[in-house]
Structure 1
Amino acid sequence: MRTKIVRIGNSRGIILNKSLLQQYGLKEEVEIHPQENGLLITPLAEAPRQGWDQQFKDAIAAGHLPESEMLEGFSNHFEEDEWQW
């Protein structure tokens, strides 16, 4: 496919047609990977922490305590001398 690089303010952009976006699952955000002879554009991977909130809730409901409660009463040098509460 051949396309032009267009000016967008002080930046530049590439316009991709709708069918190409749909075919490769490209949405509002993408990842751009520099390659030796160009750029590779891929769909944005799922948010790294997506679903963590529900997993924590499920773990607590199953009886697993959050780390702060398990370590209650333990202290360390950083918390005593450096951290400002």
Structure 2
Amino acid sequence: MRINIIQIGNSKGIRLPKYVFKSCHFQEAVDLEIEDDKVILRNIERKPRHNWDSSFKKMALAGDDKLLDEYSTTNWDVDEWKW
């Protein structure tokens, strides 16, 4: 899609068509990233653990759900900890 750059005061900007704005679920702010010669706009994720369940399932299918550290218990775990 080709869009024109417009003057906004002392700055420059672009206008996003309404359907682009709605299809990306943009709200009041977006996450902007510059990568090489590209400007990337991303929706800001409002839910901290959104999609964790599907990510964990993908990890399990890929065999990437193993503990990195060995499980270890201490005397405190056995004697002091109350469930």
State the TM-score, normalizing by the size of structure 2.
0.52
In terms of fraction of residues, the more helix-rich structure is: 1
Structure 1 residues 9 and 47: alpha-carbon distance in aligned structure 2, compared to 1, 3 A threshold: farther
- Counterpart in 2 of 1:14? 14
Q: Deviations over 1:14-34 (max 9, x none)?
A: 100110001111121111001
Unaligned runs of 5+ in 1: 49-85
Matches within 5 A, 1:29-68: 29-46=29-46
Deviation (angstroms), 1:45: 2.7
Unaligned runs of 5+ in 2: 49-83
Distance in 1, matches of 2:17 and 2:45, equals 21
State the TM-score, normalizing by the size of structure 1.
0.51
Q: CA RMSD in A?
A: 1.6
Q: Percent sequence identity over matched residues?
A: 29
